[in-house]
Amino acid sequence: MMNSKYFFLHITLLILFLSLPLSCAHTKSQHHSPESNDKKCQCPCPCKSPPDDKSNKSPSPPQKSNDGDHPSSPTPEKDIPPPEMQDDGNQSPPQKQDGDNQFPPEKQNEGNQSPPEKQETGNESPPSTPSTNTQSPPSTPSTNTRSPPSTPSTGKSPSSLKTNISFGGSFTKVFAFGDSFTDTGNAFLLGGLKSFVGSLISTLHGGSSLLPGHRQCNGRLVVDFLCENLEIPYLPPYKKTSSDFSFGANFAVAGATSLTVDYFTKHSFGQPLMWKGIPLNFHMQLDWYNKFIQGFTCKGKSQSECKAEIEGALFWIGEMGGNDYARTFASPLSKRWLTDLALDHVHKLLKALLDSGAKYIVVQGLPPIGCCPIEMFLAKMTDRDPMGCASSGNALIQAHNELLQTMLDGLRAKYPGCTIAYADYWNAYKTILENRQKYHFAEPFKACCGGGGGPLNFHMNSLCGSIGTSTCQDPSQYMHWDGLHFTEKMHSHLADLFLHQGFCKPSFHDLVKKKMGM
């Protein structure tokens, strides 16, 4: 009986023992079927199922704007908020008391950010463009996604883009437009400058000077260095009727604005700065150009000959819009409306020139006005960007330049047979500022000519040339001439970056090659 009992117990254990591998084999066969990808699965532990296949569709790309044309401009009366609604930090703040506003970043020792001079590392390639997102004014469009690059638009370093090519003979005629950064004498001849300014530039550029005309600078402008590179005479101002206009003409006027004379007359605001009376509107320059073409360039020529003259010329569009911002910094004007108005005038000018036959055009962007002594003087000490400049003013210029480039893209699409280059003033200036030791500038923010002393040598009541002001001994050490304009040395470096180091898009070299059929 006992043997029979143990016999059945052994049989039962044997059956249980044999059932285990059969169960495991069955489980293993399930988890290592061809559909399974996990070959490390071991019985009896269950395998993890493969991750879910993410089949969500990628978001649709953003729609492009219609054609990149200029923004629509609202009517001034409807878009000017009352003054009490403007106190949001988006305009240049009012002057501080007790002269505190005369000190740039390098003189701050109370925990403010380090000045540019103390960040010098000796590297010649500029650092990345600082972000100004935290202080963007309402003029910055919501679609503004194109941040200005810290290097030329080609992505290469300036040194690798430097060219030694001669541009002589490529263009024998140049037509220039703009404001005081390009004007070679129109404002002076029209009597549009304050007496002390007119007296000063007459002394600097008198009749015996090798440099003809009258400029708000201690010497040559970018347009003058352009003419030297093209190996043609300096452009005479349009208003000097006795000039030889065989090589072109300069229609730029210092102090010119997009706002009309009627608008300044109707509204009681507008800072005259170095100009007297009501400024000329940019539209006047287009009127002058049309009269010049009919009365000189195309006079006595056939339609085909006239067209050939215009097609073979270079059109240089200098700074446009800077005076609108400078002359209305304390007004209740909407900055976005002002930007739209300025770009609308640029668009109208460019379209008129293109329709008249222009094929080769260079359009300058605006420089960082927040780095000029006048803007740093007016801005609060806390209103500084990583470059050490007034961040509110610079954010406004970045928005302007972004919209300008978008508008140029639209014109390129409409006029595919023409070359429209954008001169990147912002990054050219920034490159020089952040590498000022390389360019031999000892004073990045101080005005050479002015009054008030201090690190800016600028005061609104002591403008360059007025009683009590003085001029520095060596202007080549200074980036800024009078608090609003640059020195000749600064213009020379800017011209070199535009013409030879790829700070135009497309490059000026490529523009010349296309002109020469290369």
Specify whether the CB–CB gap between 464 and 215 falls below 8 A. no
What CA–CA distance (Å, rounded) separates 407 from 390? 26
Catalytic annotation present for 69: no
Distance of alpha carbon 328 from alpha carbon 260, whole angstroms:
13
Q: Which of 335, 311, 507 is nearest to 415 (CA)?
A: 311
Other CB atoms within a 10 A radius of the CB of residue 357 amount to 17
CA-based nearest residue to 398, from 362, 366, 433, 431: 366
Q: Which two tokens stand for residue 405?
A: 């480039």
User: Which residue among the candidates 180, 392, 462, 466 is catalytic per the annotation?
Assistant: 180
Q: Is 35 exposed, middle or buried (0-12, 13-18, 19+ CB in 10 A)?
A: exposed
283 is catalytic: no
Burial 272-294 (b: 16+ CB within 10 A, else e): ebbbbebbbbbeebbebbeebbe
Angle ∠(62,64,67) on CA atoms, nearest 5: 175
Side chain identity at residue 115, one-letter code? P
- Do 467 and 199 meet the contact criterion of CB atoms below 8 Å apart? no
- From the list 482, 492, 493, 509, the catalytic residue is 482
Question: Catalytic pick from 214, 347, 400, 485?
Answer: 485
Using CA atoms, how far residue 268 sits from 80, 293, 338, 345, 466, in Å, is 14, 37, 16, 23, 25
462 assigned to active site: no
Q: Tokens for 9?
A: 């117990």
Gap between the Cα atoms of 247 and 219, Å rounded? 21
Distance CA 459, CA 38 (A): 77
Let me know how long the chain is: 518
> Distances in Å between the alpha carbon of 433 and those of 114, 359, 479?
15, 33, 8
- According to DSSP, the residues that pair with 431 across neighbouring strands are none
CA distance 194 to 202: 12
Q: Where are the beta strands (DSSP E) in 352-474?
A: 360-364, 419-423, 443-447, 449-450, 470-471
Strand ranges (E), 28-119: none
What are residue 363's DSSP bridge partners? 317, 422
DSSP state of 397: H
3-class DSSP state for residue 498? helix
**Catalytic amino acids?**
180, 482, 485
